[in-house]
Structure 1
Amino acid sequence: MEMTIIRNSCLAYINSFALKCIVNLDISGRIKAYGQHMPLHELARSIPIPPEKDSMLGRIMALLVHQGIFAQSEAGYLLTPISELLLVEGSNMGTYVHMLTQVDFLQSWERLSEVLTDTGTCTLFEKTFGGKQLWELSKEEPGIGNFFNEAMTSQTKPLMSGLFAIYPHIFDGLHSLVDVGGGSGAAVKIISEAFPGLRCIVFDLPHVVAEVSKNDSFDVVGGDMFEKIPPADAIFIKNILHDWSDEDCVRILKRCKEAIESRKHNAGKVIVVDIIIDLESDDPKEVETSLLFDIEMMCCFGSKERYKKEWHDIILASGYSDYKIYPTRVGTDAVIELYP
């Protein structure tokens, strides 16, 4: 068992590239278009690949079937809820796969021990990209920023659908909402469609919102969340706080509190969607994923995912009177409501 664990950990990178391979070949789209159980030879011909390599494809698919990404019967392959997320006309999380398997970024992980032993404060990302953080690089090279936003959008769609299914009451009674760090507006578009009477604002850095397509159902405002956030009944902040230090999170949450208090009524709240590390979770894959995200945040942004006690500390330090954590997660994310 001990040797198996070491071997498995060393070979785990194959999972990433097998997933990238089937995204590149649009395997999900081909099985979807086939409309029924798709035999290996039919899948191979649709790509197409040389017949003598059918068995290679079959061996890659065997791994992905074992992992539950695809299903298989005697008649052929079928999609699962996981592989449906990779459909271009669906969530298109293939973009997310491409972002996390960029060659330059993957190669940078070889320097992880160097980051630990170095006396400097440079993150792994900064060491790889000339001392620049992602936000600086995205501003200088819009293509990188657009790619990042597309990847974030791809995971926003299934996350928001799950959020509405489990917690629809969160948006009850609200007349206005600001999505802080809303990027391309993916979350706000979904919220606006689900709650037509809710007036929404996408709020992000000016160069980011400049790329957002104008829409009659929501407004777009450029600005800096560390300085001032537009007033609203609710502030929605999804997968943003894990990019920042505890001190910066307190600054951001204080600005969120000011934004809802400026409405001069008691109904305001802040809705945080982010990971809470729970080592006591019954789902070992969820725990492992949250710990992997924690290391990614550490190396990319010098930030972290947080345990429940850490969330408690920054929420109280930001001046909130109370908060509520919803125990059922949407993927690895939890929902936290903060009350002024």
Structure 2
Amino acid sequence: MENHQSGEYSELVQAQAELWNLTVGYLKSMSLRCALDLGIPDAINNYGQPMTLSQIQSTLSLPSTKKPHLHRLLRMLTHIGFLREQGVSTGTEVAYDLTTMSHLVLKNEGAPSMFPLVRSHIDFITMKPSLHLADWFKQDNQQNTFEMAHDCTFWEMTRKTPKFNKMFNDAMESTSSYMIHGFVKNVSNILEGIHTLVDVGGGTGALAKAIVQNFPHVECTVLELPHVIQSISNDGPVNFVSGDMFNFIPPADVVILKWILHDWCDEDCIKILCRCKEAISSRETGGRVIIIENVIGSTSSKTCHESHLLTDMLMLTMFTGAERDEHEWKKLFTDAGFSSYQITHTIGLNSVIEIYP
């Protein structure tokens, strides 16, 4: 009986700890934001070797009164795997080094970095809508939580707020930068035999430029909204066209949609896909639409599956869209009049979906 009660108590304590960790888990994100805003990973990287607490405090020019509290921040960053401690077992002063995770957000010029993407998602504008979720569920209206929080849609915010627009465009460019290698290396056969390609919502053209560089025979066009590409010159290897994908997509053998459809509800996705179907050439000449998105249920990794679910909640709070499983993707393709599809799980968390007319 005592052992049974002891087991119940242990389970209760575990549940309390897990609940508390969920309750204040947002402080992991805020610790990460603090590390990025202070420039901790770049400071360690520029130093060229692990740094002690004193060295980090001095390099960042932080007040000496903050040194004990900086230790607490570094302890949390170590706990969540963003940094790692060196010298613990030798009895020397603890030093802090980068991990694979922190290497992903280094801002070294010329190296792909997830910094813009990560920082944009822990910005107040992006996080505030999540506080309105319960109110949104209670109301039967067309607003999403972003509109409830900011009195405008996400896209209206990008048009009227240049700083936010730049942050979003930089974030989208960074997603292209770190997935380009996987796309070019693992699915290069998809681009064999095609001559023209349109990257719909391709931002500043990072993916299109990489395609041209690796497949010079492919003529690439980026279709984007006017305020996104207004300062981009059209004298480079990629052609930029101003327009709205709901109205018109330039004709091409292949249309690429990278992280586009998860922003939109099913009805809008079908409209976009129908425009794509109008734009592409026949299947016999290589015509297809290439979609780069998450496919829920496509991974056996618990961490990656959680990433898909968290991204789905992000879509719920920011846009009208969703992350989708294969069955949900198939329904969209069928409803838009496509005959078949093929999924390749190759680019990290993302999959490549080819759909054929």
| Shared fold per TM-score greater than 0.5 | yes
- 8 A contact 1:105–1:128 mirrored in 2: no
Instruction: Map 1:1-340 to 2 at 5 A.
Output: 1-74=14-87, 76-89=95-108, 90-130=111-151, 132-261=152-281, 265-278=284-297, 281-328=299-346, 330-340=347-357
In the alignment, residue 270 of structure 1 is paired with which amino acid? V
Q: Distance in 2 between matches of 1:72 and 1:170?
A: 44
The 3 A distance-change label for structure 1 pair 43 and 302 is same
Q: Distance in 1 between matches of 2:99 and 2:312?
A: 28
The 3 A distance-change label for structure 1 pair 282 and 196 is same
- 8 A contact 2:146–2:319 mirrored in 1: yes
What secondary structure does 1:8 align onto? helix
What do the CA deviations read for 1:222-277 (whole angstroms, capped 9, x no partner)?
A: 1121122111221111000001111111111121122112x785212211001111
What secondary structure does 2:81 align onto? coil
- 8 A contact 1:157–1:186 mirrored in 2: yes
**Percent identity (aligned):** 35
The 3 A distance-change label for structure 1 pair 170 and 20 is same
Q: Distance in 2 between matches of 1:259 and 1:104?
A: 35
In the alignment, residue 268 of structure 1 is paired with which amino acid? G
The number of equivalent residue pairs is 336
Q: Distance in 2 between matches of 1:67 and 1:166?
A: 31
Q: Distance in 2 between matches of 1:103 and 1:17?
A: 11
- 8 A contact 2:202–2:222 mirrored in 1: yes
What secondary structure does 2:285 align onto? coil
Which runs of no fewer than 5 residues in structure 2 stay unpaired?
1-13, 88-93
The 3 A distance-change label for structure 1 pair 336 and 150 is same
What secondary structure does 1:338 align onto? strand
CA apart distance, 1:209: 2.2
Which runs of no fewer than 5 residues in structure 1 stay unpaired?
none
Greater CA drift, 10-19 or 167-176: 167-176
Q: Distance in 2 between matches of 1:190 and 1:61?
A: 37
Where in structure 1 do 4 or more consecutive aligned residues deviate above 4 Å?
Answer: none
The 3 A distance-change label for structure 1 pair 161 and 112 is same
The 3 A distance-change label for structure 1 pair 176 and 71 is farther
TM-score (norm 1): 0.91
Quote the RMSD (CA, aligned, Å). Answer: 2.0
- Structure exhibiting the larger radius of gyration computed from Cα positions: 2
The 3 A distance-change label for structure 1 pair 47 and 241 is same
